[in-house]
Amino acid sequence: MYQRLRPLLFRLDPERAHALTLFGLRLVGALPPLQALVSRWYPVAHQPVQAFGLQFSNPVGLAAGYDKDGLGWRGLACLGFGHIEVGTVTPRPQPGNPSPRLYRLPEDRALINRMGFPGKGADFVLQQLAGRRPSGLVLGVNLGKNKDTPLEEAAQDYLVLVRKFAPAADYLSINVSSPNTVGLRRLQAREALGDLLDVLVLERDFLSEQSSKRTPLLLKLAPDLSQAELEDAVQVALERGMDGLIATNTTLERDGLHSVQAGESGGLSGAPLARRSLEITRWICTRTEGRLPLISVGGILSAEDAIERLEAGAALVQVYTGLVYSGPALPSQIVNTIR
């Protein structure tokens, strides 16, 4: 059915189409009869996974960026996801970059976005996460700094967010790898990253001592790091006691694209990112020998893509652009194909 509807959706501006889809998913999540109906449409086998000290009902998750403000995650859970990552969330509301800022590249099965962390801010998202949680769902929150926060003060933004969301989320991911906030990726450099993670890990440990709940901290990395930069970032994450990694965010590379939109600035996601994300997944899993469980994301558009990441050593996978091109059945197709 989605393949028949997709041409109609693709006639709409990409950001408008996304907003309409998210509105529909919010309705699904708010109405138990619709939740039950959609869940029956997309049944999933039980494929439990242990990672970061958490139990996941299956290894397939939704990547950050799809539900930035936590509006539709209850409806999205009906598609069969084992985990959903909300965000990126910033401490204060911000508009993001000017529109247009999201582009489809159908010839390449890809998207380019230069959204710039638009959102309603941490307090709004926290309200959306309160209340009923779908059974068995693991909920993550992706954290980023405000655009106008100087880089040297970025740690304070992340610290505020960790304090707010550690009680509400199952895990937190630290986003220092988006290409759409000026200077943000500089926080992946060895010294800057070490200083940032020192503060956040200390806060994680303090909060866990104050309560019976330990909220894992994950680090999300860019695909455009050199080998030396990647080695530094992984080593820092190991030394600082991070709970896991997410690889990868979107890329600035444009090799081999065919779409007329290929020259747009921003982060590229989808099929062109698959090879690099798989390479990084394999390298990290070999390098860490399981000490840092990994979520692999980037270019997963089919069950075969997902299985390849799991066979490369990833504990979990995430999709985003795959939903746009393959449709809402993708999570259940992946889960039900895994053996």
Tell me which residues are annotated as active site: 178
In eight-state DSSP terms, residue 69 is T
Phi, then psi, of 123 in degrees rounded to 5: -65, -40
Sort 50 into a burial class: Cβ within 10 Å, 0-12 / 13-18 / 19+. exposed
Give 47's contacts (C-beta < 8 A, 6+ positions apart). Answer: 57, 58, 59, 82, 335, 338
Structure tokens at 275: 């090879």
Rounded to whole angstroms, the Cα distance separating 172 from 166 reads 7
Give 162's contacts (C-beta < 8 A, 6+ positions apart). Answer: 143, 172, 200, 203, 204, 207, 217
Rounded to whole angstroms, the Cα distance separating 141 from 91 reads 13
Inter-residue contact 52 to 218 (CB < 8 Å): yes
